[in-house]
Amino acid sequence: MNCTRAGLSLPSHLISSVLLNSTELKTPSSLSPDRLAELSHLLPSLGVTFLQGVTPSQLLAALPALASVSFSPAQASIIVDKMSSITTLTASGQLQTLGSLIVGMKTETLLALTSDRLLSSLPAMAQPIAGLSQPQVNAISTKLWGFPEVVNWLDDVEPLLFWTPLLSVLPRTRQLVDNINTASTKPWNTQQAKAIFKALLDTDPDLIEQHFLSLGTVGQGVSCTVLQQHFRADSSPSSVRRVLAFLRQQPGPLHTSLKRCVINELYQFEFFFELLKDLGAEIALSIPVSTIKKFPTDMMDTLRKTIVSDPHQFLLLSRTKQELLVDKMVQRMGMYTGVFTEEEFRSLGIMAPFVADEVFLQLDRSFFIDNVDFLQGLCYSRSKMDIVARILPEPAAFGPVSNWNRTTLSQVGRFLFFLPVDKLQEIPLALMTVGRIEKLFMSQHRWERGDVGIHCSDENERQKFFEKQQFVLQFFLGFLKIYPLSPAVMVPTCEILHTTAPSVWTSSSLLSMSPSAFSNCLELLGHDPFLASYQRSQVLKKVKQIYGPVSSFSQSVISQLGGIAIALSPEELSSLRLAERSSIAALGAVRAWSNRQLSVLFTTVLNSTKQSVSQLDSSTLVAMGYIVCGAKTTEMNYLNAVEFSKAVLWLGQLRLSCSEEQLLALVGLLTHRLAFGPISSWGTAVFIEIGVLAAGLPDMAMSALVNEQIEGIAPAAVSMIPAAKFFVVFHQRQISMFSYEQAAEVTDEQLSALSDVQRTALAMVLTPWEDRPVDFRGKSLGLALSYSSLCLILGLLMLLLPCPALICPGT
């Protein structure tokens, strides 16, 4: 119980033996409220079947203890529904007592609350805010920001502020300006800060120039023009340092355009190199590698220290940037020759595994052996994983894999998953017990959820790693039947699925689980991104055996299904009752639907909620997620423009599968006079807010975009623009305004459609970071690759001309 309270993950055999075999837990309704309260931190491990057996009165009596426990949404929903059957949880003072259980409150219930009830409960929501669903956050924030008095409630609404739609904040910006002393202390997102900053500028331009540093958190919304004016009005080192200190204190990440503006402006100053230590890691890492490579050794060392002291910013860079930056640093610091020593490795901190492969190969083996625990916490690319796998069985390291023992496996830890399949098979079978395998998985999961792991690998790398994990479990537990004396194939418990993952097990083993164990793990199964289509189909059969036909599935079951629902036929999808936002959101979060399924789901939502297209509110649209693309273009035109505009903060984060015509229709909604108005009036803030939907801008509007607007376009939106459209709408001068992140998202198909002049513009955006006229993404830039320096200069001149009048020699 103490381990669980401390948030530690427990091996499944402990949970099984201590909890599931406990006689007192066989009959949940027999537990006293005091005992239930004492066991509160263990209840999530007991699952939904246990909670369904507890009476409402037991739960209500134990509520003070339950309110501090992290239940899954499905579990919290069961508890809240049970208690709601005997008391009015929405009564005055009751909501505050729910604590973390607020995640189980229906969005529909929250929307029905009065503003004062919602306000009084918000302080209690501050802690579990990360657990609230997107529809819940949208429902609460849009409702409260509908009241003019909200500007006086900023302390109360602060927990939800970052995820409050821009359209809700825009009508209140003048009031926020009047209340700027309070507003300047709140954690706004970038687009909100820009809107408030613009309102300030419109109210009193001189105020900003004179009191820019007093704007607090609104400062992240400063425009490049104002920042330039501020720097030029007082360009003394002390003044510049005050501005940099001010920017470093902003609550959220600074926008790419702002960081680029700072670097471009400061680079003109003679004392730029003296400012490096004042930039902070976030802004310093925006300096192009073409500039960084000119740093003398002492400046490079300052940059190194800056990054090591704030490693999070380095992890947010693209892999290309990470490797190029470290390569220049290692060259300047003379690490390319001899052994890669412990001192050198530690001096690079989080950057150490990003050195060139030939440097990493020279890693001091004694340092490697003595510090395996430390090394396991770092981030490794595919090639570095292969090098680690080569080091592990060396005589100077752990020796041949076939000679490894229990101690070796404990030391190697998650590095075992780096080994190739042929080496894995050399590990003595007797060593790889269920407990050992489980510990390996738990070690990997801890790393993945940590500060480094969460930002380390891309989707492709995660897929490859999953395949390795799946092989380890299935090979050593006898599922692959390679050895005639393999032990009998085990049936997983729900507990071991939590410590490993459902997808690494075979379909037959999952189907062999008892109904109660399977039910307890349905939510986990539904959220497993690596379940194969055949596994989903098999699992769905088991769900039907337990819960009956699809048409009888409860909202709770549907909300737990998640990705399993992809296996449902269009006919079955149409029979679902998607009456609540929780069940809609569970399916709306799934990306892999076919167009036919999306169309059926959209209709099913309308039929289940008994709403017309025009009646859908923002929280329902947020819940629909990818399902929005199931609407016909004609239906999209009937969506409520204001409600849709309040949902784009979430929908804009998804790589929607909408057609070009559908995206065009959705953008049309955003241009409504009560939404964001005509596209020509949109600034950076609106483009940041709408995310990928910017890909749906009409051709004429896209070809007329100015720098301020292009700065706000999400990189993902760039990749979603059809190639033929991309070629037509983006003039080379507009392409030259792209950030590196935007340019790096240009697809092969888009690239092949570009003219030579457009390719030159794209290459020139990429080269300041990639340090050569080459696209390191492995995509051919055609003729642009062979351009000489003279030709790149001519290319730059072309960008200044109204049309491509210069032709590069030899093309």
Q: pLDDT tens digit string along 75-84?
A: 999 999 999 9
Instruction: Dig out the tokens for 708 from the structure.
Output: 């301020």
Instruction: Dig out the tokens for 279 from the structure.
Output: 């930039």
pLDDT of amino acid 645: 98
Q: Give the C-alpha separation, 163 to 744, whole Å.
A: 27
Q: Give the C-alpha separation, 622 to 268, whole Å.
A: 45
**114 against 79, higher pLDDT:** 79
Query: In which residue are the tokens 């801008």 written?
Result: 697
Is there a contact between 711 and 221 (Cβ–Cβ < 8 Å)?
no
- Tell me, what DSSP letter sits at residue 254? P
Q: Please check the confidence at residue 326 and state whether its pLDDT lies above 50.
A: yes
Q: Provide the H-helix boundaries in 548-672.
A: 555-561, 570-575, 581-588, 595-609, 618-624, 633-636, 641-651, 660-670
% of the chain exceeding 70 in pLDDT: 92
- Tell me, what DSSP letter sits at residue 490? P
Q: pLDDT tens digit string along 448-473?
A: 999 999 999 888 889 999 999 999 99
Q: Give the C-alpha separation, 131 to 129, whole Å.
A: 5
Q: Please check the confidence at residue 556 and state whether its pLDDT lies above 90.
A: yes
Find the radius of gyration of the CA atoms of the chain.
29
Q: Please check the confidence at residue 386 and state whether its pLDDT lies above 50.
A: yes
Cα distances (Å, whole numbers) of residue 711 to 444, 682, 738: 38, 12, 7
- Backbone torsions φ then ψ of 9, nearest 5 degrees: -80, 135
pLDDT of amino acid 782: 39
What value does the mean pLDDT of the chain take?
90
pLDDT of amino acid 769: 74
Q: pLDDT tens digit string along 191-218?
A: 999 999 999 989 887 776 667 888 999 9
Is there a contact between 799 and 761 (Cβ–Cβ < 8 Å)?
yes
Q: pLDDT tens digit string along 570-627?
A: 999 999 999 999 999 999 999 999 999 999 999 999 999 999 999 999 999 999 999 9
DSSP 166-220: HHHHGGGHHHHHHTHHHHTTS---HHHHHHHHHHHHHH-HHHHHHHGGG-GGGGG
Q: In a 3-state reduction of DSSP, which class is residue 121?
A: helix
Is there a contact between 461 and 14 (Cβ–Cβ < 8 Å)?
no
Q: Give the C-alpha separation, 591 to 654, whole Å.
A: 9
Q: Give the C-alpha separation, 149 to 267, whole Å.
A: 45
DSSP 345-390: HHHHGGGGGGS-HHHHTTB-HHHHHHTHHHHHTS---HHHHHHHHH
Q: What counts of helices (H) and strands (E) characterise the chain? A: 56, 0
pLDDT band at 789 (very low <50, low <70, confident <90, very high): very low
**23 against 427, higher pLDDT:** 427
Q: Which residues have a Cβ under 8 Å from the Cβ of 177 and sit 6 or more positions away?
A: 183, 196, 199, 200, 203
**19 against 150, higher pLDDT:** 150
Is there a contact between 162 and 191 (Cβ–Cβ < 8 Å)?
no
Q: pLDDT tens digit string along 245-283?
A: 999 999 989 999 999 999 999 998 989 889 999 999 999
pLDDT of amino acid 795: 52
% of the chain exceeding 90 in pLDDT: 77
Nearest to 273 by CA among 263, 282, 281: 263
pLDDT of amino acid 126: 59
Q: Give the C-alpha separation, 765 to 760, whole Å.
A: 9
Q: Give the C-alpha separation, 89 to 98, whole Å.
A: 8
Q: Please check the confidence at residue 312 and state whether its pLDDT lies above 60.
A: yes
pLDDT band at 14 (very low <50, low <70, confident <90, very high): confident
Q: pLDDT tens digit string along 764-788?
A: 999 887 665 434 334 444 333 433 4
